[in-house]
Homo-oligomer: A and B are copies of this chain.
Amino acid sequence: MSSMWGQTLKISLFGESHGPGIGVVIDGLPSGHRLDEEAIRQFMLRRAPGRSPWSTRRQESDETEILSGLYGGRTTGAPLAALIRNTDARSADYGDLVNKPRPGHADLAGSFRYQGFQDPRGGGHFSGRLTAPMTFAGALCRQILLEKGLWIAAHVYEIAGIPDEPFNPVDPDEKRLAALAAKPFPVLDDAAGARMIEAVEKARLSADSVGGVIETIIAGLPAGLGDPIFEGLESRLSSLVLGIPAVKGIEFGSGFSSARMTGSIHNDTPVIVDDKIRFRTNHSGGIQGGISNGMPVVFRIAVKPTPSIGQEQQTINLSEMNEEQLIIKGRHDPCIVPRAVPVAEAAAAIFALDLMLGAGFFRTHEPSGF
């Protein structure tokens, strides 16, 4: 197991869906940053369950208690631990799962790994609920990044094959993208969004689920961060983002579309704009040779359809070693993509702050105050 990630900024996630609580230790924060706890709360609400028809009906306020690392409202530089108590846990819904694993879930792989000792209630530590503390950590990192002029946005790029308008990766409109955060269904094209909601509702009614794609942009990242080979931004970001449950793919810039382009189309032409180096296109997603080139970093992630569906499914009975039918009870999302949008932003923020800290952006080498 390692639910830890990071180099200079490190996070350590803990908790289970139906245990006493979930939380995160954030180790390596710069000192002296005044936290806006209300803004963090608002950010976390975008992920919280029970607030829309496409979300599980489980009610969790996700109130977060900060246990350490904060003094006088500012970060101290010491590890900041945050705890979210589980309140609406109903373990009875999940009784037989160790013996009858849910198709598409980690129940069976988890049993292989932990010899059946994993907490089966609601997926335990495998639960998407673990994205709550990750979102907390990301919300906090975002605030600190904003001081350096970085901003992050994400949207539902596609659900059930229905596309939103893509981000402009060359010259993103900060105001327009900032408005996404206020939308219950974060798309640029609300008409497309309405069709997506319809598709989600249709899946819900047929006791099924749908997947989708999320696009995220990190704007304002200075050029010259990262390194070739294994410290490339693609490597580092992937190792974090693919830790989000249900994410099965990631692409940067034009990504898989690049594979169908010619070099003459794909190569981003450098240009001089107002005495600054920019690029005419951004097929590379702001990353060349693993290093930021000053353009927005753009990536998309594939989110598989929620495995918990209401239909009867075939599974196996581990004690009998035979095949049986299963009907999953409990409360589930027919589509987790909208709720995963702030999680993608959170991951981007954690990644970017780790990168910036590693490059020394928040260190002051003159001991101050005296």
The distance from the CB of A344 to the nearest CB of chain B, in whole angstroms, is 13
A321 interface residue per 8 A CB criterion: yes
Residue-wise interface mask of A (19-50) relative to B, using a CB-CB cutoff of 8 A (1 in contact, 0 not): 11111010111011000000000000000000
Contact call B309/A116, Cβ cutoff below 8 A: no
A68 interface residue per 8 A CB criterion: yes
* Assembly CA distance A249 to B10 (angstroms): 25
Partner of A67, one of B20, B112, B114: B20
A250 interface residue per 8 A CB criterion: yes
Residue of B at shortest CB range from A280? B314
Whether A126 contacts B289 in the complex (CB less than 8 A), given A1-B79, A302-B256, comes out as yes
Contact call B368/A115, Cβ cutoff below 8 A: yes
A260 interface residue per 8 A CB criterion: yes
Whether A118 contacts B71 in the complex (CB less than 8 A), given A2-B28, A242-B232, comes out as yes
Partner of A27, one of B2, B20, B81, B235: B2
The distance from the CB of A144 to the nearest CB of chain B, in whole angstroms, is 13
Contact call A367/B111, Cβ cutoff below 8 A: yes
Q: List 13 A-B contacts (CB under 8 A).
A: A14-B67, A14-B79, A19-B71, A76-B118, A101-B270, A103-B268, A106-B290, A108-B293, A115-B369, A235-B240, A258-B304, A272-B316, A277-B370
Contact call B370/A361, Cβ cutoff below 8 A: no
Contact call B242/A307, Cβ cutoff below 8 A: no
Query: Which of A231, A287, A321: most chain B CB closer than 10 A?
Result: A231
Whether A117 contacts B68 in the complex (CB less than 8 A), given A248-B254, A288-B105, comes out as no
The distance from the CB of A290 to the nearest CB of chain B, in whole angstroms, is 7
Residue of B at shortest CB range from A295? B109
* Assembly CA distance A117 to B71 (angstroms): 8
A216 interface residue per 8 A CB criterion: no
Partner of A238, one of B29, B224, B239, B361: B239
Whether A267 contacts B224 in the complex (CB less than 8 A), given A125-B76, A211-B260, comes out as no
Residue of B at shortest CB range from A368? B115
| Chain B residues with CB below 8 A from A205, complex form | none
Contact call B249/A251, Cβ cutoff below 8 A: yes
| Chain B residues with CB below 8 A from A271, complex form | 314, 316, 323
